[in-house]
Amino acid sequence: MSRSQDEIVRSYFVDKGSLFRIVMDSKHMLYRAKKIAKGVAKQLMFMGIDRGYILDIGCGTGRIALELADIGYHVVGIDISRQYVEEAIRRAEERGLSDKVKFIVCDARDIVSCLKGMEFDAVIFVWSSVIGYYDEDTDVRILSQVRNVVKGSSALFLIDFVNKEHIMMEFMVTGVKTYAYDYGNYVVLENTLFNPITSEVLIKQVFYRKEGRDLVYIDESYFKMRVYSLSELVQLARRSGWCLSRVLKEIGGEPGYNPLGPLNLVFTPCKQ
């Protein structure tokens, strides 16, 4: 019997959440977090928001939220995984940022009830966090809830999102792919399958720990998600009350669209 998407999400990020931490807390991802935070700050300053409150949805262990707090923003991070949130709180205390950042265990489908009247100047989703893991109607509901927790002048960032055009192009050329990633003390074998009919990507990861010259099997996990094209994300956001402001090659860079790279999009509330 196949598992529901809700069960898959909870298995990957909650029950086996420690596995994903190997990827999320790797040197590359932590370095990327600094770059993303600086890029978001640059775009917000461009919009006249040089201080304020930012909501980080699917914040994980706080890698980006903490960097934004260090820059000077007040940040609230939410995540479905209690272990991630507890680690993020620990890191905030360690870095002396507890007065600038708050982390909450929250299912993104319940944003409004979790945040209890809080308002934000900007909201960020990074690496397809939350969006795409359930179904299109749920994605619309999540983005609509986000629209209800922001101020009149605000911004929505979709950063490093999987680009459907890129996935389709790779699938047509190579089909099933398997890559090996080195994460310091660990190696992760990643197998990617793409269904062009449903626009779903299935990623299975097998985790190994390095012991001398040997690799010791730890465990494996997988997740499945819907991937969107640029036009589909724009339409999805518009249904939720968000209108496209900018398309960026890099979140801190100039406007531009790269069909072979991740999507970096900035939205503002649609005018009534």
- In this structure, the number of other CB atoms found within 10 A of the CB of residue 163 comes to 21
Over the chain, what is the mean pLDDT? 94
For 213-249, the DSSP string reads TEEEEEEEEEEEEE---HHHHHHHHHHTTEEEEEEES
Say if residues 119 and 53 touch (Cβ distance below 8 Å).
Answer: yes
Mean pLDDT of 56-62: 98
Domains observed in the chain: 5-161+229-269 (3.40.50.150), 165-226 (3.30.160.300)
- Choose between 174 and 27: higher pLDDT: 27
- Lowest mean pLDDT, pick from 45-54, 140-149, 213-222: 45-54
Mean pLDDT of 77-103: 98
Say if residues 77 and 63 touch (Cβ distance below 8 Å).
Answer: no
Tell me what pLDDT residue 164 has: 93
Tell me what pLDDT residue 128 has: 73
Going by pLDDT thresholds of 50, 70 and 90, the confidence category of residue 2 is low
pTM of the shown model:
0.95
Say if residues 128 and 222 touch (Cβ distance below 8 Å).
Answer: no
Residue 164: exposed, middle, or buried by beta-carbon count in 10 A (0-12, 13-18, 19+)?
A: buried
Going by pLDDT thresholds of 50, 70 and 90, the confidence category of residue 243 is very high
Mean pLDDT of 66-85: 97
3-state secondary structure of 199: coil
* Separation of first and last alpha carbons in the chain: 46
- Choose between 245 and 175: higher pLDDT: 245
Mean pLDDT of 140-144: 97
3-state secondary structure of 53: strand
